[in-house]
Amino acid sequence: MMPQPSLRAYVRQHAEDRPGIYRMLGPGEEVLYVGKSVRVRSRLLSYFRAEEHHKATSLIRDTHAIAWEYVPNEFSALVREMRLIKRWRPRYNVEHKRKRSFAFIRITGETAPRVLAVSRTPAEGGVLFGPFPRPRLLTLTLRDLAHVLGLRDCHGKVPIRFGDQLEFFQERGLPRCLRADTGSCLAPCSGRCSFGDYAQSVETARRFLEGTSREPLQLLETRMREAAGVLEFEHAAMLRDRLRRLEALQRELVAFRGRVESLSFVYRIRGFKGDDRLYLIRRGLVRGEMPSPRGRAGRERAARKVQEVFAEAAPDPTALTPEGASEILLVARWFRLREGEMSRVFGPEEWLRTVAPASV
């Protein structure tokens, strides 16, 4: 443990200007802050020059020790920083610390499925899409989708009684909400629809979320024209806003899914002082890291690892952790903001064929 007055001297003497991760430690080695930099020494020394009102001054005042580790490059630093913040949740960190910065779209596996925005992957199964940012907007837009297709959004424990599954001579029950009377729910709770009719609406929702159907949008366009035709302009405006939200959702879903699906490759990065690295990325998750191979033996080892990672079954979205979801968003953002980095990626088969031909 370094005494407080010697912190700056310790950094000046021992730290190097190279990529790395650093940790500010408090009493009992509590992790107060995790940061990254491509020049660790310069970044750490900047804390000691901060003005009195700056956050860095308070951080240094509470810091009893500073520890750091070097990494080969900025990408490694970014991923490592995020993982450590998620693990320790230091009180001075803000970025990566929030638990609910993303959401999934879930079609439940219930008898009469619902389409929901959820902040974590459930154990009960169902069909998942995501992760996606902006959970609040997603909740509102999925409510729009449920209203258009007549899907229920009531509690999961509400009993379901389809019209074609009623007992002999049993009459239909009363719906449990006003949506059935307004025509925005098929009301499977009261026998007002058949199992097949409801399942068809669920399938339409699934195809819409996959980007292969525009049926909900077409339904809204028709209803909007009909409302305008009878001079119900306020209702037509409400339908127009609903249409715009659903159009934006489908565009975002298709674009984001395409980005995630495309994030499966071998990523080669030049590292500090020749420490070049390969990162094996599968659907946005960093599944492996290794030194860029040199020589026949190195290429053979790398080829085995590439084959192992990309021969595995695709990651199951129902098993995705919050940390995994954050990593997908982080990796997607890295390549979105640095389009030039895509020139450094290889599909696994391409890499095995062109980079490691002696090992296949």
Q: CATH topology for 4-88?
A: GIY-YIG endonuclease (3.40.1440)
C-alpha–C-alpha distance, residues 307 and 157, integer Å: 46
Q: Is the pTM of this model over 0.95?
A: no
Burial class, 189, CB count within 10 angstroms (exposed 0-12 / middle 13-18 / buried 19+): buried
How far the first Cα of the chain sits from its last, in Å, is: 51
Domain boundary assignment for the chain: 4-88, 103-260, 263-359
CA angle 153, 157, 163 (to 5 degrees): 75
pLDDT string in tens for the chain (360-residue length): 344 568 999 999 999 999 999 999 999 999 999 999 999 999 999 999 888 888 888 999 999 999 999 999 999 999 999 999 989 999 999 876 555 456 788 899 899 999 998 876 655 567 878 777 667 778 889 999 999 999 999 988 898 989 887 554 455 567 667 888 888 999 998 888 999 999 999 999 999 998 899 999 999 999 999 999 999 999 999 999 999 999 998 888 888 777 788 899 999 999 999 999 999 999 899 999 999 998 888 889 999 999 999 998 766 555 667 778 788 889 989 998 998 999 999 999 999 987 655 544
For the record, the structure tokens of 6 come out as 């010697």
Residues 177-182: contacts with CB under 8 Å, at least 24 apart: 179/147, 179/152, 179/153
**Which of 187, 161, 349 lies closest to 264 in space, CA to CA?**
349
Question: Could you tell me the two tokens for 99?
Answer: 């638990």
* Radius of gyration for the alpha carbons in the chain, expressed in angstroms and rounded: 27
Q: Does an H or E element contain 67, and which?
A: strand 65-70
Identify whether the C-beta of residue 326 lies closer than 8 Å to the C-beta of residue 317.
no
HSE, CB side, 13 Å, CA atoms: give it for residue 284. Answer: 25
Q: Backbone dihedral region of 232: left (phi > 0), alpha (psi from -120 to 50 degrees) or beta?
A: beta
